[in-house]
Amino acid sequence: MQGRFPSPERSAKTGAMSRFAFRPLAALAVVALLAGCATGKNKADTKYVAMDVNTLYNAALDRLNRHQYKTAAQVFDEVERQHPYSVWSRRAQLMSAFSYYLAHDYTSSIESARRFLSIHPGNRDAPYAYYLIAVDYYEQIRDVNRDQKITQQAMDALGELIRRYPDTRYAADARIKVDLVRDHLAGKEMEVGRFYQRRGNWIASVIRFRKVVDEYQTTSQVPEALMRLTESYLALGLSAEANKTAAVLGANYPGTKWYEHAYELVTEKKPRGKDA
C-alpha cells in the first residue's frame, strides 16, 4: 500500500524538520568515504575512517541526494557512532530512519526511529518519528489473503500518532491512512466469511459478516457484508433476520447491486450461498 511520504526537502519548505534541509556547507566539499572490498556476491563491506562530524554528515546527505539510500543510512549511523554527543547525532538518527525507509528496509527504519524516540522523546521532531514508524508498517501491508499482523501493527502505530499529536499534519494524514487500513481489515473478514459460505458453514460466516457490520461501519465492505448476511440467514432458515438485514441494506445502500441481490433473495425465499 504505497503512500506519499514527505521528503525532508518538502518538509523544510513548510517548516517541519527544517533543519534537515539539504544545504551543503560551502567549506565542506570533499567526501571522505572509503569503500572496502566486497565480502560477498551482493554485499559490500563499507568501512569508514574517523572524520569530523560536518564532513561525515554531509557525506551522508550526498549519498541520499544520489539516491544511494542504504549507503546514506549507514553513513548517518556512522555519524551517531562517531559523534554520539553532537547535535548532528540527533539529526542523523532521524535521517537514518528516513533513508532506510527510502531503501525499503522498513525494519531498520523502525529501529532507527524508535531509537530516536527513546533518546529524544520530547524533541520537536518526535511527531515525524512516530509518523515514519507508522508509514513503515503501512507500506508493508499486502493483500487480504496474507496474514494481517502487519496491518494491525500499522493501525496501532497510526493510532498512537493520532493520540499523541492530534493537531499535527502527520496526524491528519494518519487519519486518512487509518480509514484505508480499516477497509483492508474489513476486507480480510469478508474474505474469511466468503470462505465459510463456500464450505456451508453458515454460523461462522454470520460471525464474520456481523463483525464487518458492527466494527467497520464506515468501510466500503459493509454493503456486501449485509448482502452476505442475508444469504447466510436464509441458509440457516432465519427468514426474519434475513428480512431485517435486507431492509437495513435497502435503507442505507439503495440502488446497489448488493441490495438488488438481497431483495431477490428475500422475495424468492430461496437460500443461496454462492458468490454473486
**Residue that has been written with the C-alpha cell 524533541 in this structure:** 123
SS3 per residue for the chain: CCCCCCCHHHHHHCCCCHHHCCCCCCCCCCCCCEEEEECCCCCEEEECCCCCHHHHHHHHHHHHHCCCHHHHHHHHHHHHHHCCCCHHHHHHHHHHHHHHHHCCCHHHHHHHHHHHHHHCCCCCCHHHHHHHHHHHHHCCCCCCCCCCHHHHHHHHHHHHHHHHCCCCHHHHHHHHHHHHHHHHHHHHHHHHHHHHHHCCCHHHHHHHHHHHHHHCCCCCCHHHHHHHHHHHHHHCCCHHHHHHHHHHHHHHCCCCHHHHHHHHHHHHCCCCCCCC
Q: What is the pLDDT of residue 34?
A: 33
Would you say the C-alpha torsion 101, 107, 110, 116 has a positive or negative sign?
negative
Q: What is the pLDDT of residue 96?
A: 94
What is the C-alpha to C-alpha distance for residues 98 and 106, in angstroms, rounded to an integer? 10
Confidence (pTM): 0.72
Q: What is the pLDDT of residue 19?
A: 36
Own/partner contacts of 168-171, CB < 8 Å, gap of 24 or more, are 168/127, 169/14, 169/16, 170/127, 170/128, 170/130, 170/131, 171/127
Q: What is the pLDDT of residue 64?
A: 92
* Residues 158, 162, 168: CA angle, nearest 5 degrees: 115
Q: What is the pLDDT of residue 8?
A: 44
Residues of the chain with pLDDT under 70: 1-50, 144-147, 269-276
CA 111 to chain centre: 15
In contact, 112 and 78? CB cutoff 8 Å? no
Q: What is the pLDDT of residue 3?
A: 47
pLDDT in tens, 210-257: 999 999 999 999 999 999 999 999 999 999 999 999 999 999 999 899
248 φ/ψ angles, rounded to the nearest 5 degrees:
-65, -40
Q: What is the pLDDT of residue 6?
A: 58
Q: What is the pLDDT of residue 17?
A: 37
